[in-house]
Structure 1
Amino acid sequence: MKIRTRKFLGTIALLVLAATWALFGMALAQLPWIAESGWRQAIYYVVVGMGWVLPAMPVVSWMQRPDPA
């Protein structure tokens, strides 16, 4: 697969990942044990906000692989 195709598919995958992650994170933020405490909300949003990076790293490294010779 050419690098242009991988970058196109990877971009779509990252957009889907970010949208799904955000919706899932917002849904979980409504749980009573998170919603009733300000400091729990702050910790939750920092963790969830940074958490999408781990699943995105393999997609980005796959996108950056050089074309086979």
Structure 2
Amino acid sequence: MPVRLRKFIGTILLIVLVLGYAFIATTVAVNALGASPWWIHLTYFFFSGLLWILPAMLLIKWMAGPKQQ
């Protein structure tokens, strides 16, 4: 697969990932953390804010393609 096509597909998937993850994380927070103290909200959003980076890293690594030798 050409690198340009791989980057185009990866960009679209990355946008879908970020929007979908933000929607799911916010929905879970609203439904599960409504009456929780502020520090639980802070902890949840800290970890959920970092968690999307893992699939994004894999996607970006795929977008770069195989290593050139």
Q: How does 1:4-23 map to 2 (within 5 A)?
A: 4-23=4-23
Query: TM-score with structure 2 length normalisation?
Result: 0.87
Distance 1:29 1:49 in 2: 12
1:53 aligns with 53
Q: Percent identity?
A: 36
Deviation at 1:66, TM superposition (A): 4.5
Specify the SS of the correspondent of 1:63.
helix
Distance 2:55 2:66 in 1: 21
Query: TM-score with structure 1 length normalisation?
Result: 0.87
For structure 1, the 5+ residue unaligned runs are none
For structure 2, the 5+ residue unaligned runs are none
Structure 1 runs of 4+ aligned residues shifted over 3 Å read none
Distance 1:31 1:54 in 2: 24
